[in-house]
Amino acid sequence: MKHKRLCEPDFGKKDNYTIILPIDQGVEHGPHSAFYATDHPEMLDVDYQVDYIAELLEEGLVGAAALPQRTANLLKFWYPHLAQDIIMKLNHGNNLNDWLDPTQAVYATTAAAQGMGGIGYTIYPGSLDQDEMINYFGKIKTHASPTAKTILWSYPRGGEFNPISFETTMHAAYIAAQLEPDVIKVKLPEYDNMSTLCIRVDRVVKSACGIPVVFSGGTKRGTEAILMEAEAIAKNGGYGMIVGRNVFQRKRNEGKNLLRDIHKVFRES
C-alpha cells in the first residue's frame, strides 16, 4: 500500500493508507500529562512543537496533523506550504471534571479552518449531548470549503456501556458513516489476541459502509503492541492510524523510528 498525504488527490482511495498525527491532548488531558511529564518534555514549547510537526510532515512520516486552533494557525503561519496537510480540530473536551457529562465545546468554526486541508470534529454517541453534536456536524458539512476533507472522531461515551466493546465500536462506525465524512476515526475495539483483533477490525471497517476508517493509537505503550495493532489494521481493511501520544511522548528519534516501523507494516501489507 502507498502512504498518502491529506493534500494528495487520491487521499482516502483504496490501496492507500495514511498515518495522522493528532496533537490535541494538551486540551483534552492538559499540557502537563500530554507533554511535560513525558520522555519528550520539549513538546511543551509550542515553537518546538510546530517545528517538530513540520519536520514529520516534510519527511513524509505522517500524512496529516490534527491540531487545535492555536497550533494549527501557528503551523500554517510558519509553514504555509503545509497548510493542506493540517486538520483543524474544531471541538474539544477536557478531563478536568469527571462529574460533568462528557461533551465537547466548539472552539473554532469552519471559517477558521479556511485554507487548511481538513476539518476534524468529534461526536460522542451515547452521551446526553449526542444529538447536538451530531446536528452540528451537519452545519460543518454545509459551511466547509468544498476542498476541505472532514475527519469525524466517533467516540461512544457517557452511558452504562463499555465504550470500546466490539459491538459499541461497530455502532460508532455505523453512526459516523451516516454523516458521510471523508474519514472516520474510532478507537480500536478491545481484544484478547491477534486473531480476535483481526476479526474485529474487519467488522468495524465494514460497519463504516465504505468510508475509510483510521484507528487511534491510545496511551503510550511498547513498540511491539503498536506494531501488532498496525498489522491487524493494515491487513483487515483499515485506512490507517491516527497516532499521537505513542509518537510525540517518545524522544524525537524514537518517535520517528516507531513511525518508520508502522509505515513498513502498511507498505508490506
Residue 263's alpha-carbon distances to 71, 132, 223, 239, 266, in angstroms, are 25, 37, 13, 12, 5
Q: Which residues contact 111 (CB under 8 A, 6 or more apart)?
A: 143
**Measured from the CB atom, is 24 or 85 closer to ligand FBP?**
24
Closer CB to ligand FBP, 205 or 243, in the complex: 243
Beta carbon of residue 258, minimum distance to ligand FBP (angstroms, whole number): 12
Binding flag, residue 229, ligand FBP (CB under 6 A): no
d(CA 234, CA 158): 30
Characterize the bridge pairing of strands 2-3 and 16-22. Answer: parallel
Residue number of the CB closest to ligand FBP reads: 244
Phi, psi (rounded to 5 degrees) for 134: -70, -45
Indicate whether 243 belongs to the interface with ligand FBP (CB under 6 A).
yes
CA angle 227, 94, 162 (to 5 degrees): 60
> Exactly one of 4, 11, 16, 24 binds ligand FBP (CB under 6 A); which one?
24
**Closer CB to ligand FBP, residue 17 or residue 153?**
153
CB 154 within 8 A of CB 126: no
Q: How far apart are CA 214 and CA 240, in angstroms?
A: 5
Applying CB under 6 A, does 245 fall inside the site for ligand FBP?
A: yes
Stretch binding ligand FBP (CB under 6 A), from 4-12, 36-44, 133-141, 239-247: 239-247
**Contacts to ligand FBP from residues 181-220, by CB under 6 A:** 216-218
Element housing 215 (H / E) = strand 213-216
Residue 79 or 124 having the CB closest to ligand FBP: 124
Among 16, 19, 28, 234, binds ligand FBP (CB under 6 A): 28
Contact with ligand FBP (CB under 6 A) among 25, 127, 130, 150: 25
Task: Classify residue 180 by its DSSP letter.
Answer: -
Q: Is 154 in the site for ligand FBP (CB under 6 A)?
A: no
Residues contributing to the site for ligand FBP (CB under 6 A) = 22, 24-25, 28, 153, 216-218, 242-246
